[in-house]
């Protein structure tokens, strides 16, 4: 009888699957027919297709890092794929209202960066002072025009769509990989014994924890499937229906294969 390790979808299985995800994504991209309207780039369908482009590249980066054995970095890009999926879900559920929230996020970020420049970097006189005054005036104009803009938080984006349940995975990837949290930094800590005495050290390239990389690529692939399904739902690309359906069904098979328990190092 095959052992559990033999029954599990391996990392190579998942990496092979990403090639079919990319092919399905290209079927959507190459066959999409989007009319340019007065909304221009603010058209939800254009933004959705842009999110698909970003997701496919994030996925390729995730695979490259997984193959290099870099667990944390693999998790960071799997997190990015999930964030893209939340935005696609928001575009489906809220349409133009979600686009407005994305634009507000962009404006808020630009205003804060501009404020930092004029407050901390720009000279009060001499070369550059005139430019700083123009930037200050521009920021005042923006504040008057958009007095209530705020950031679009990933949790809020997730809650606005049917993919909100994936937020728990996203938050875990944030806590143990994307942010320099205590949890993330503890990954570098190791304890050895010398003459019965515990000695703490730091590992510049800590080893993978159990099947962490494989499981992370699984999580990333789940998000990519979500993006594919969502974008094609929004764009209704007839020639992409079968390829998207095929990877959706294949993901269901791969993800339900019995996985061995992860061997976590302490």
CA distances, 14 to each of 8, 28, 214, 251 (Å): 11, 21, 7, 9
Measure the CA–CA gap between 238 and 175, rounded to whole angstroms.
Answer: 39
pLDDT for the residue 259: 52
- β-sheet bridge partners, residue 201: 190
Q: How does the average pLDDT of the chain come out, rounded?
A: 88
Closest CA to 158 of 180, 147, 174, 146: 174
Please provide the DSSP assignment of 137-188 as one string. HHHHHHHHH-TT-----HHHHHHTSTTGGGHHHHHHHIIIIIS--HHHHGGG
Q: Is 192 helix (H, G, I), strand (E, B) or coil?
A: strand
Enumerate residue ranges in the chain where pLDDT < 70.
1-7, 160-162, 164, 257-266
pLDDT for the residue 266: 33
pLDDT for the residue 45: 95
pLDDT for the residue 9: 87
Measure the CA–CA gap between 122 and 130, rounded to whole angstroms.
Answer: 10
Annotated domain spans of the chain:
6-256
Measure the CA–CA gap between 8 and 70, rounded to whole angstroms.
Answer: 21
> For 148, phi and psi rounded to 5 degrees?
-120, 20
pLDDT for the residue 15: 97
What would the pLDDT profile of 196-226 be if each residue is shown by its tens digit? 888 899 999 998 989 999 999 999 999 999 9
Measure the CA–CA gap between 115 and 122, rounded to whole angstroms.
Answer: 10
Cβ atoms < 10 Å from Cβ of 43:
18
pLDDT for the residue 161: 63
């Amino acid at each position: 009888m095959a052992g559990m390790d033999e029954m599990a979808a391996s990392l190579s299985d998942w990496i092979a699957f990403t090639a079919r995800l990319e092919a399905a994504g290209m079927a959507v991209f190459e066959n999409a027919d989007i009319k340019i309207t007065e909304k221009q780039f603010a058209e939800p369908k254009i933004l959705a297709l842009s999110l698909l482009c970003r997701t496919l590249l994030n996925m390729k980066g995730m695979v490259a890092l997984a193959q290099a054995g870099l667990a944390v970095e693999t998790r960071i890009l799997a997190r990015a794929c999930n964030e893209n999926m939340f935005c696609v879900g928001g575009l489906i559920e809220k349409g133009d209202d979600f686009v407005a929230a994305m634009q507000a996020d962009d404006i808020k970020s630009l205003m804060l960066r501009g404020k930092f420049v004029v407050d901390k970097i720009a000279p009060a006189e001499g070369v550059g002072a005139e430019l700083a005054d123009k930037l200050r005036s521009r920021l005042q104009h923006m504040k008057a025009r958009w007095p209530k803009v705020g950031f679009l938080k990933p949790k809020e984006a997730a809650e606005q769509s049917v993919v909100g349940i994936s937020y728990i995975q996203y938050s875990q990837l944030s806590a143990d990989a994307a942010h320099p949290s205590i949890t993330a930094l503890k990954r570098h800590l190791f304890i050895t014994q010398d003459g019965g005495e515990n000695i703490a050290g730091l590992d510049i390239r800590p080893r993978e924890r159990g099947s962490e990389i494989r499981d992370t690529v699984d999580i990333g692939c789940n998000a990519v499937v979500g993006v594919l399904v969502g974008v094609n739902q929004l764009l209704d690309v007839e020639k992409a229906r079968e390829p998207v359906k095929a990877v959706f069904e294949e993901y269901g098979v791969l993800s339900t294969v019995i996985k061995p328990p992860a061997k976590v190092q302490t």
